[in-house]
A = this chain, B = another copy of it.
Amino acid sequence: MKLFCAAADWGTTHFRLWLLDTDGKVAGTRSSEQGIMHCQPAGFRDVLESHLDALFAPADLPVVICGMAGSRQGWVEAGYVDTPAALDDVVRKAASVPGSGRQVFILPGIAQRQPSAPDVMRGEETQLLGAFDGKTGDVLVCMPGTHSKWVEMSAGKVTGFTTHLTGELFSVISRDTILSHAVAGSTFDETAFAQAAARALEDPGGLTAALFSIRAGQLLGYRDQSAGRAELSGLLIGTEIATARSAYGGAAQVHLVASGRMATLYDIALVKAGCDVVKIDAGEVTRRGLWQAATQLLGARQPARIS
């Protein structure tokens, strides 16, 4: 086995690293909570090297990184490619990290520079590269998360996208509002989730009121505390889907890039919304996107560096 590169997904709160061989297969992996928030004091290079060391990576193994490590608060600012953004351009405009002792590239994000609908992504462009490189038709993509993205692609370009604060709203509402009393149950009631999602799909404008009704419904004995967490999740996800579908013309087919429970929940809600869902594993396409970028960036130039 010959190593080709290391690939890292370096976000705000998480760090994930893969060693990839010349066939793109995983030769080693690491993950930690050393997101960029953690690295601002500790130093990005030290964090990266400690994980490469732990995997006995050669000193000249190149590294390709995506995510918030390329933001202004990151290691080196990697800028943005503007919409309509060709995925190839994302790779072509990778920033090289000086003084890192080895070749390190950070992929840029994508920016939608529209004063009426400004938006940015950083990390998702790499997943899109992993999932849709070479795809020429029109695609609508749903990428759930702390900051959920809905992305419209056409002829291999990202033509438009919208970020919803869904995941972050779920966190702060369940932790720090009156609803913290209403979501205390440890179970997750999928029926309650689906009902709440259906309610939000019908009335996405009713979110701020529907939230309080979860609490009031429990106080008045109509609803069980064990359903609260699922209802909150259903309302937020249903609102996101309804809004996104109306923004993007109600396309029948939606590519869902997610993993774990988020994949299950968005699938349920998207089907309720009448979508034909194509499921794509989020972790898998991040790695594949980094691999695509690495072969493009290093392919011709780096044969000597393969150990």
Q: A residues bordering B, Cβ < 8 Å?
A: 111-113, 115, 117-120, 147, 162-166, 168-169, 171-173, 175-179, 204-209, 211-213, 216-217, 219-220, 222-223, 236, 239-240, 242-244, 246-247
Query: Lowest 3 A-B CB distances belong to which pairs?
Result: A204-B205, A172-B172, A163-B212
Most chain B beta carbons < 10 A, residue from A165, A177, A204, A211 = A165
**Of the candidates B169, B176, B220, B223, which one forms a contact with A113 in the assembled complex, judged by CB atoms under 8 Å apart?**
B220
CA A280 to CA B204, docked complex, whole Å: 31
Given A119-B216, A164-B212, A208-B243, 4 more pairs with CB closer than 8 A = A111-B220, A118-B220, A175-B176, A206-B247
Query: Are A216's CB and B172's CB within 8 A?
Result: no
CA A247 to CA B205, docked complex, whole Å: 10
Most chain B beta carbons < 10 A, residue from A113, A176, A204, A206 = A206
List B contacts of A169 (CB < 8 A): 173, 177, 208, 211
Shortest Cβ gap from A186 to chain B (Å): 22
CA A117 to CA B119, docked complex, whole Å: 35
Query: Are B168's CB and A177's CB within 8 A?
Result: yes
Query: Are A118's CB and B178's CB within 8 A?
Result: no
CA A213 to CA B146, docked complex, whole Å: 15
Query: Are B119's CB and A208's CB within 8 A?
Result: no
Query: Are B208's CB and A240's CB within 8 A?
Result: yes
CA A256 to CA B223, docked complex, whole Å: 32
Residue of B nearest to A214 (CB): B118
List B contacts of A219 (CB < 8 A): 118, 120
List B contacts of A217 (CB < 8 A): 115, 118
Query: Are B163's CB and A172's CB within 8 A?
Result: no
CA A215 to CA B142, docked complex, whole Å: 20
CA A220 to CA B216, docked complex, whole Å: 40
Query: Are B164's CB and A208's CB within 8 A?
Result: yes
Residue of B nearest to A218 (CB): B118
List B contacts of A246 (CB < 8 A): 205
List B contacts of A207 (CB < 8 A): 207-208, 239
**Listed A/B pairs (12) with beta-carbon separation below 8 Å:** A111-B220, A115-B217, A117-B213, A118-B217, A118-B222, A119-B212, A163-B209, A163-B213, A164-B209, A165-B177, A172-B177, A209-B247
